Amino acid sequence: MLQGAAARLAPRAALGRSGSEPLIVVGVLTSSTGLGESARLCYQALERAGLEVYAVDLSETLMQARNVDFPFRDGSTMVGSGTIIAHVNSPILPVALLKLGRTLLEAKRIVGVWHWELPRVPATWSGGVPFVDEIWVSSHFTQAAISSIAAGKPVKVLPHPVAAHAGGIAKDWEKGERSDCFTVLSMFDTGSSFARKNPLAAIAAFRRAFGNDRSARLIVKTQNTSLYPAGLRRLEEAVADADNIELITQSMSREEVASLYAQSDVLLSLHRAEGFGLPIAESMLAGLPVVATNWSANTDFLTRDHGFPIDYHLVPARDEQRTYHDPAASWAEADVEQAAAALVRLRSEEGLGRRLGACGRQFALEAWSAERYARSVREMIEQRPETRDSVVQ
């Protein structure tokens, strides 16, 4: 009802305008969510590249916890021409625009930065399409899904500028930061769907690889467990008799997350679907090899040069949290035995993890730099509004 009312009342800018600076990044910038990180990375990259960029935080408006300290230049009063880059998914976009107001939106080009993790999007996603000039997505997987409801609007692929904060998540193999204990890291947000992230498969793979061997350990890092208490109970049951598995459930600062990367030897993600795969990308940036399901968005960048893409079979997308519940659609069930074998190989073959990690880090620094991202943004907003061909970066 709220979304329907907002769609009727939200101001509509005069679409079809050419984009220009200033750029105003809109989203839940002070919330520790994937959408919040998307907006923060965008702002940081554009600022680092020297573009005229401002922001509007909608965390309170969209009922998200404000638990991230993120400084930005306020753009809520920037009237006149410019470009709105809204990291707000289609169904709730009218609510965001209603908050921004007609005065701010007038004379601006409107871009929707949207994220989805299944091969098709719900019908409700068509609601935000009339409010945008174009849509940006972070992967070809998401592009294919959203194009089906885009009604002729351009849908352009622009990966996250993960390297915009490169200094905070770099692993230094040469300084001996890793211990004698082979450390596997698995990270996910319970609020982003426990079933989709599939941490129980990661735990199963680790235990098949190493059992209770204390010279190997698994760190399972999650947050927002209050959103799905049943998931926390399943995690606790899965690790109850394992002395070599550590479960971390509290939110962490970027510095604390960087410390997890620094002490780990490999990132393990046996997800069922990803719209981009930010933990995978950050791990590559940190110089870690990755063992991950070879399906959905991360196939854009994860190859055998960087880690171990794991085989899978498709199953109906069933989600008890209902976020991604769509049994008519499919997502992936990773091969746990193959993932376990990959972990054993990484531990036993001296230098393998270092070689894969170095290759992944080099790719990440080049593909996801602030400069490359800002250059792509400038090119895309300056294109003629009637352009309908997807621009792939």
CB 317, CB 272: distance < 8 Å: yes
DSSP collapsed to 3 states, 258-304:
HHHHHCCCEEEECCCCCCCCHHHHHHHHCCCCEEEECCCHHHHCCCC
371: tokens are 């400069």
* 2-161+369-381 fold: Rossmann fold (3.40.50)
CB 245, CB 203: distance < 8 Å: yes
- Domains 2-161+369-381 and 167-367 agree in fold: yes
CA-to-CA distance for 270 and 143, rounded, in angstroms? 22
What pLDDT sits at residue 9?
A: 67
What pLDDT sits at residue 393?
A: 40
CA-to-CA distance for 204 and 136, rounded, in angstroms? 36
393: tokens are 């970066």
- Domain borders along the chain are 2-161+369-381, 167-367
Give whole-number Cα distances, 305 to 138, 162, 164, 311, 317, in Å.
21, 19, 23, 16, 30
What pLDDT sits at residue 252?
A: 87
Rg (CA), the chain: 21
pLDDT band at 179 (very low <50, low <70, confident <90, very high): low
380: tokens are 């895309």
Q: Residue with structure tokens 């976009």?
A: 93
Kindly report the pTM of this predicted structure: 0.91
Mean pLDDT taken over the chain:
91
> Does residue 263 surpass a pLDDT of 60?
yes
Q: Phi/psi of residue 342, each to 5°?
A: -65, -40
Q: What is the DSSP string of 171-215?
A: --GGGT-S-SSEEEEEE--GGG-HHHH-HHHHHHHHHHHHTT-TT
SS3 category, 56: strand
| The one-letter amino acid at 233 | R
> Does residue 207 surpass a pLDDT of 70?
yes
What pLDDT sits at residue 303?
A: 97
Instruction: Supply the CATH classification number for the domain 167-367.
Output: 3.40.50.2000
**Helix (H) or strand (E) run with residue 99 in it:** helix 93-100
| The one-letter amino acid at 211 | G
Q: What is the mean pLDDT of the segment spanning 78-98?
A: 94
What pLDDT sits at residue 61?
A: 92
Lowest mean pLDDT segment, chosen from 152-166, 197-211, 286-300: 152-166
What pLDDT sits at residue 390?
A: 42
Strand order in the sheet with 134-137: 53-57, 23-27, 82-86, 108-113, 134-137, 155-157
What pLDDT sits at residue 164?
A: 85
219: tokens are 């760190």
